[in-house]
Amino acid sequence: MSQLKDTLFRKIEEQRPRVTRLLKEYGQVELDKVTIAQAIGGVRGVKCLVTDISYLDPEEGVRFRGKTIPETFAALPKVPGSEYPYVEGFWYFLLTGEVPTMEQTLEVVADFQARRPVPQYVFDALRAMPRDLHPMAMLSAAIVVMQGESIFAKRYNEGMGKGDLWDPMYEDSCNLLAKLPAIAAYIYRLKYKGDTPIPSDPELDFGGDFAHMMGIAPPYDDVARMYFILHSDHESGNVSAHTTRLVASALADAYYSLSAGVNGLSGPLHGLANQEVLRWIQSKMEKLGGKLPTEEELERYLWDTLNSGQVIPGYGHAVLRRTDPRFSAQMEFCEKYLPNDDLYRLVKMLYKVAPKVLQEHGKARNPWPNVDAQSGVIQWHYGITQYEYYTVLFAVGRALGVLANITWDRALGYPLERPKSITLDMMEKTAGIQ
């Protein structure tokens, strides 16, 4: 057994009695109550999901396994000559809560390298799709087309006990994760680079190989590492994480579950917002004949967007009430590597103007930027100008978090998720409306 799997198993055995005790002795303790506004309003704020992989504080932002973003970047082993950690070491950390040594990290790197080859039929399936299909639809289809590879589905059909199901879920998760960079890069080069796929370099790590297969020189390898880690997890109530978990709760395997989660991520209020930010900015610049808008022009554009009933992409959040630290981490990168980039200057101007406008507008509970307000600019700078592709990058990162979550869901035996519905009549009756 690998050191990662061994450590994971030890952690699972530590956590199981905690779940049993909570259920047996404290099962009736109330965590929250639900109002009509919450039932109608997307279950916002109701504390009814469990995960230890990450936690989102409204003021502070995300912590992965108890560590803030800067703490996470500082703690994990770095790729020699790079500023950002191995994605493989981060996977170890997300799964176990333990910071791996370099040796443990390199063991995962080697394990992923062995799991990396993508079946030819995936590429054939991608090639058979219309070239103008959205890359998120291509990614989702490429994931689900591999469902026949699922070890979980095979073991389940053979009658594996519930308590052991985490093992094939872990195996499927590692197999899937290791293949995602090659699939994502293939989609990019098929659609936008004249069908010129670049084969994987078996010596490289997850982020390095992705940059290599995209055909983009350093420091894009570090951009990829940073990007995948930042987008990995945001506790389990967001649409992509929740969808993945919900589907997996019916004991669907990782292929079905992740494909479903990717579909959720493709919504413009969720992961697609990173493409929308660029589309929104570019459309203004086009109207100005390629010029950067002034602060006054930008303010007017914000009002025009709001007055036409549209949202300002990249701003607002269902939980956060401050600037997203994932936005700040990317801003730090931009300050270092692309301080004079025109689009970055525009994003900075937007950060100055938009919160004020949104506050004055008075609807959004959070007028501050989220992760998506910044991420496209970095991609654009390194040559990925096809902004409809950005959410695919988000999805590769998000896979780390949601696959860690569903592995743990099976380990702790979490049941089928099935909340209860009521009718409007029942709600009015409860509210005392005659």
Interface with ligand NMX includes 269 (CB under 6 A)?
yes
Neighbour-count burial for 124-155, b at 16+ CB within 10 Å, e otherwise: ebbeeeeeeebbbebbbbbbbbbeebbbbbeb
Q: What is the Cα–Cα distance from 101 to 293, expressed in whole angstroms?
A: 48
Amino acid in position 327: F
Output the smallest distance, CB 404 to ligand NMX, in A: 18
- Non-local CB neighbours of 359 within 8 Å, separated by 6+ positions: 367
CA angle 10, 15, 19 (to 5 degrees): 155
243 is an interface residue for ligand MLT by CB under 6 A: no
Q: What is the closest distance, in whole angstroms, from the C-beta atom of residue 371 to ligand MLT in the complex?
A: 6
Minimum CB separation of residue 265 from ligand MLT in Å reads 8
Tell me which of 79, 99, 146, 371 binds ligand NMX, using CB under 6 A. 371
What amino acid is encoded at 385 in this protein? T
Q: Is 271 in the site for ligand NMX (CB under 6 A)?
A: yes
Residues between 7 and 46 that touch ligand MLT (CB under 6 A): none
- Subset of residues 360 to 379 that bind ligand MLT, contact rule: CB under 6 A: 370-371
The stretch among 45-53, 217-225, 314-322, 402-410 that binds ligand MLT (CB under 6 A) is 314-322
Number of residues that bind ligand MLT (CB under 6 A): 8
Among 51, 96, 238, 407, binds ligand MLT (CB under 6 A): 238
Cβ neighbours around 348 below 10 Å, total:
17
Nearest residue to ligand MLT, scored by beta-carbon proximity: 238
**Measured distance CA(354)–CA(374) in Å, rounded:** 13
Dist. CA 11–CA 7, nearest whole Å: 6
- What tokens does 152 get? 């979980």
Stretch that binds ligand MLT, among 95-103, 133-141, 313-321, 333-341 (CB under 6 A): 313-321
Q: Whole-angstrom Cα distance, residue 396 to residue 112?
A: 14
Per CB under 6 A, the list member of 63, 116, 225, 234 interacting with ligand MLT is 234
Q: Is 37 in the site for ligand NMX (CB under 6 A)?
A: no
Piece in contact with ligand NMX (CB under 6 A), picked from 70-78, 111-119, 335-343, 357-365: 357-365
- Nearer to ligand NMX (CB atom), residue 313 or residue 325: 313
Q: What is the rounded distance in angstroms from the CA atom of residue 106 to the CA atom of residue 113?
A: 10
Query: Cα–Cα distance between 3 and 185 in angstroms, integer?
Result: 29
Interaction mask 229-268, ligand NMX, x per CB under 6 A: ----------------------------------------
The span of 30-38, 166-174, 246-254, 312-320 binding ligand MLT (CB under 6 A) equals 312-320
Q: Please state the three-class secondary structure of 87-138 as a single string.
A: HHHHHHHHHHCCCCCHHHHHHHHHHHHHHCCCCHHHHHHHHHCCCCCCHHHH
Q: Quick check: 372 binds ligand NMX (CB under 6 A)?
A: yes
Reference 267, options 291, 301, 243, 302; nearest CA is 243
Told to check if 318 binds ligand NMX by CB under 6 A, we report yes
Query: Of ligand MLT, ligand NMX, none, which one sits near residue 315, judging by CB under 5 to 8 A according to partner kind?
Result: ligand NMX
**Which residue, among 202, 251, 267, 250, has the nearest Cα to 398 in the 3D structure?**
267
- Of 67, 116, 191, 270, the one binding ligand NMX by CB under 6 A: 270
Measure the CA angle with vertex 331, ends 326 and 335; round to 5°.
Answer: 155
Contacts of range 141-146, beta carbons closer than 8 Å, 24 or more positions apart: 141/259, 142/183, 142/187, 143/176, 143/183, 143/255, 143/258, 143/259, 143/262, 144/255, 144/256, 144/259, 145/121, 146/119, 146/122, 146/176, 146/179, 146/255
Stretch that binds ligand MLT, among 73-81, 171-179, 209-217, 311-319 (CB under 6 A): 311-319
Peptide bond before residue 219 is cis, with ω within 30 degrees of 0: yes
Binding segment toward ligand NMX, per CB under 6 A, in 21-29, 218-226, 244-252, 358-366: 358-366
* Active site residues per annotation: 270, 317, 372
Nearer to ligand MLT, 150 or 238 (CB): 238
Q: Which is nearer to ligand MLT, 46 or 285 (CB)?
A: 46
Enter the tokens of residue 87: 């994605």
Shortest CB 78 distance to ligand NMX, Å: 26
Binding interface with ligand NMX (CB under 6 A): 44, 269-271, 273, 306, 311-318, 363-366, 370-372
Binding interface with ligand MLT (CB under 6 A): 234, 238, 270, 317-319, 370-371
